[in-house]
């Protein structure tokens, strides 16, 4: 589940986001400070005329470290007013293998942030090494040269194991295609209770024909997608209470079901 949807729905969303941003900024500060110290110590031990010090931050796990967030944080930390900080760093590369979008030819494009410090700007030849690293990494990971773009919108890369339980497959399927995201809460509520009602054909005891395994699997899959959408929005489960539905919506839920089953779920529904 993407934490943004839960956080944005919280009453103290601004406070939570500020806390997350503060922790992220401290982490970036620590990484840059450590790299700066290591470069300074190395150059003191091995003095050379032409040295390029590049801090590379590689992210392969954290979805919250999106390229647009890191752009802001690195820029904020590398400067204090008009004065540069961490003067022993020539450039900073942030490479995210957790964020991707696809180019027009179908090639995956991961996010890269490049920050040129004052030393690199004063000595442009240093950026040749930065460009070489970026290009080599792009060929290694995508098989083609790097694509330059100002577009900062990326999707999160899902880590897919070789073998997944079917329920996890359904959740991943919905995260890749959240087709319910534009539905109003009223329609989502009807679908929620309709799915429960139809699934009851398989699990509740009664004198109606039993459904086959494929229909059971489809019903469970649909319910999993509904729960994923509720999680994406950070919905309070009480907003799906059956008591909030109009008589017309209740009729939609019960349409085509055996009267015996309607009587059962009306008395023992999730909201009763």
Query: Is residue 255 very low, low, confident or very high in pLDDT (cuts 50, 70, 90)?
Result: very high
Q: What is the pLDDT of residue 1?
A: 44
pLDDT in tens, 120-135: 888 889 999 899 999 9
Phi, psi dihedrals of residue 59, rounded to the nearest 5°: -115, 120
Lowest mean pLDDT across 14-18, 22-26, 46-50, 232-236: 14-18
Q: Which residue has the tokens 């990326």?
A: 154
Look at 98-102, 166-170, 242-246 and tell me which has the smallest mean pLDDT.
Answer: 98-102
Region of residue 50 (left: phi > 0; alpha: psi -120 to 50; beta: else): beta
**Among 28-32, 146-150, 228-232, where is mean pLDDT lowest?**
146-150
Tell me the average pLDDT across 59-67: 83
Q: Distance between CA 254 and CA 266 in Å, rounded? A: 9
CA atoms within a 13 Å half-sphere pointing along the CA-CB vector of 188: 25
Rounded to an integer, what distance in angstroms lies between the CA atom of residue 221 and that of residue 151?
A: 34
Position 76 scores a pLDDT of 85
Contact present, 232 and 6 (Cβ < 8 Å): no
- What's phi and psi for 95, nearest 5 deg? -115, 120
**Does the structure show a pLDDT above 60 at 63?**
yes
pLDDT at residue 272, as a whole number:
40
Mean local confidence (pLDDT), 6-20: 60
pLDDT for position 270: 41
The band of 16, judged by pLDDT with boundaries at 50, 70 and 90, is low
Token pair 């500020």: residue = 18
Q: What is the mean pLDDT of the chain?
A: 84
Span 21-42, average pLDDT: 90
pLDDT tens per residue, range 177-200: 999 999 999 999 999 999 999 888
pLDDT at 262 > cutoff 60: yes
Residue with token string 């696809």: 102
- Among 31, 7, 30, 28, CA closest to 17: 7
Residues in contact with 159: Cβ distance below 8 Å, sequence separation at least 6, in sequence order: none
- For 90, the token pair is 């020539």
Q: CB-side exposure of 61: number of CA atoms within 13 Å?
A: 0
| Closest C-alpha to 179, from 222, 134, 146, 216 | 222
- 11-15, 206-210, 243-247 — which one is most confidently predicted on average? 243-247
Radius of gyration for the chain, computed over Cα atoms and rounded to the nearest angstrom? 26
**Is the per-residue pLDDT at 34 higher than 90?**
yes
Beta-carbon contacts of 136 under 8 Å, excluding residues fewer than 6 positions away, are none
Q: Is the pLDDT of residue 139 over 90?
A: no
Q: What is the pLDDT of residue 35?
A: 95
The per-residue pLDDT for 12 is: 60
């Amino acid at each position: 589940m993407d934490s943004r949807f839960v956080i944005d729905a919280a009453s103290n969303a601004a406070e939570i986001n500020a806390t997350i941003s503060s922790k992220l900024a401290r982490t970036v500060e620590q990484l840059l400070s450590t790299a700066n110290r290591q470069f300074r110590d190395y150059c003191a031990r091995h003095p050379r005329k032409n040295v390029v010090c590049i801090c590379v931050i590689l992210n392969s796990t954290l979805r919250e470290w999106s390229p647009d967030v890191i752009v802001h944080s690195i820029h904020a930390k590398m400067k204090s007013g008009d004065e540069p900080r961490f003067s022993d760093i020539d450039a900073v590369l942030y490479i995210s293998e957790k964020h991707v979008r696809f180019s027009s030819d179908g090639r995956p494009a991961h996010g890269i942030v490049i920050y040129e410090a004052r030393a690199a700007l004063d000595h442009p030849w240093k950026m040749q090494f930065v460009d070489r690293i970026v290009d080599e990494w792009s060929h290694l990971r995508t098989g083609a040269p790097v694509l330059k773009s100002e577009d900062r919108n990326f999707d999160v890369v899902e880590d897919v194991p070789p073998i997944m339980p079917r329920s996890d497959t359904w959740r991943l399927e919905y995260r890749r295609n959240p087709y319910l995201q534009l539905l109003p809460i009223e329609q989502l509520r009807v679908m929620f209770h309709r799915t429960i009602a139809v699934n009851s054909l398989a699990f509740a005891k009664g004198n109606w024909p039993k459904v086959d395994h494929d229909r059971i699997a489809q019903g469970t899959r649909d319910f999993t997608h509904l729960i994923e959408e509720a999680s994406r929005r950070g919905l309070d489960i009480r907003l799906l209470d059956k008591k909030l539905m109009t008589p017309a919506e209740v009729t939609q839920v019960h349409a085509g079901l055996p009267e015996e089953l309607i009587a059962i779920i009306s008395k023992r529904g999730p909201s009763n």
